[in-house]
Chains A and B, each alone.
Chain A
């Protein structure tokens, strides 16, 4: 079945079997391999993308369910002039090690900062609680999210 959706501002479509998840559609049909497959059952968060303004485990969402929606993936954050402030902070503060949790973690962080530009430490931890990381202990990730929030606020001011 033909599924059409908007990804990172571009209209895209693919002909996928009906049981295809959004994650598989992104990775195997649209060549967007940023979102990862870590467990395929919504436990680890490495597949997190933003669908119509909400962060979602794309392994749990059927591609059909996402039809017609606006999706943001990790590939849509940077532009030719600069990294997204979250990507910039993550890089500067050494927040990622193996990087496998990175795209999902950054999308959850973006979802938080888009809605709550000055989150407390507890609010950051809460927003990231569905994204598992085994390498970093989350410490530098949390610092980087707070740092990115400040950068985003002063950019707008």
Chain B
């Protein structure tokens, strides 16, 4: 018989390295037509870092995503970066990119100020223009300003900056301190069906509500959440490296079971409306937190369905059935 159950799990997760300095540096160069190039030492591992960093630079310069080209990951040409680790790229590298773009933008403000007859601090970059705050009709196209700055004034629009999250070391005996500058939060709720004759668990639906501060690119955040959930489903129900006498007995994809398209639940994603003033345009990050609460939510749902409390992962059909039979016996 199929029994249905639901379970929730919430979590918190930090952004950046634990206490240790983990800076990122970036350079932004504005071309004489108002398009721009970003140099970053980070690595695109599939999460969409290059797209997101481009959007951050574009925002700071008031231009569009497509106007920015991002160059990455070459120790000869790109500035240092601690790496695509610990969900830090949007926050730490993003802040570095934003600060670098603002420096480049400030050079443009210096060039535009006499053209628009206002001091530089009365200007903003918006819609591919440099315009006067509160009076947008007084503006010059950003390409014109960049061209003027570089070729007439001899001041190319380029900026470099770095960012490191401020932390406080943890006391060696009590662990008290400020190990991270920001954290993200999330809740996932799973609906499962358990076959009480075989112990097989099917995850039917997961609702995932995640805080990532400002989502720089909501489509990419959703992708991270869906991907994280698939790793969570695998962790909960299927994946296990088996050892015998110190040797792995399933070091291959035939016998290491991981989720396929048949194993995925229907996923509903929502983002919490939140803004972190310490992050670039309010953003925090998303890469790892997405994989954190899934297994717990599924275990709680299994308990709700059949009353079995799984205390060791993965919850294979054997374990679940064993639990069911134990309950029936007692």
Contacts and interface: CB of A to CB of B under 8 A. Distances in A.
Contact present between A and B (CB < 8 A): yes
Interface stretch (A9-17, A22-30, A72-80, A137-145): A137-145
With most chain A CB atoms within 10 A of its CB, the pick from B45, B226, B259, B262 is B226
A39 interface: yes
Nearest to B219: A94
A132 B260 contact: yes
Interface extent on A, as a size class? 20 to 34
B40 interface: no
Interface in B224-266: 226-231, 252-254, 258-262, 264
A43 B253 contact: yes
B222 interface: yes
A22 B46 CA distance: 27
A97 B48 contact: yes
B155 interface: no
Contact of A137 (B46, B219, B264): B264
B262 A139 contact: no
A156 interface: no
Interface stretch (A47-55, A58-66, A123-131): A123-131
Contacts of B262: 125-126, 129
B264 A94 contact: no
Nearest to A131: B261
A93 B222 CA distance: 11
Given A43-B252, A137-B230, A97 B261 contact: no
Interface in B69-114: none
22 contacts: A41-B254, A43-B252, A93-B219, A94-B219, A94-B223, A125-B261, A129-B262, A131-B261, A133-B230, A134-B231, A134-B258, A135-B47, A135-B227, A136-B223, A136-B226, A137-B229, A137-B230, A137-B259, A137-B264, A138-B259, A139-B264, A139-B267
Interface string B115-133: 0000000000000000000
Given A97-B48, A128-B260, 13 more contacts: A43-B252, A94-B222, A94-B223, A98-B45, A126-B262, A130-B260, A132-B253, A136-B226, A136-B227, A136-B230, A137-B227, A139-B267, A142-B261
Contact of B261 (A44, A93, A141): A141
Query: A-B pairs with the 5 shortest C-beta distances?
Result: A98-B46, A137-B230, A43-B253, A137-B226, A139-B226
Contacts of A130: 260
Contacts of A141: 261
Contacts of B219: 93-94
Contacts of B227: 97, 134-137
A150 B231 CA distance: 30
Contacts of A93: 219
A99 interface: yes
Given A41-B252, A43-B252, A132 B258 contact: yes
B220 interface: yes
Contacts of B47: 97, 135
B117 to A, nearest CB: 44
B206 to A, nearest CB: 10
B323 to A, nearest CB: 28
Given A97-B46, A126-B262, A39 B226 contact: no
Nearest to A43: B253
Interface string B35-67: 000000000011110000000000000000000
A94 B254 CA distance: 28
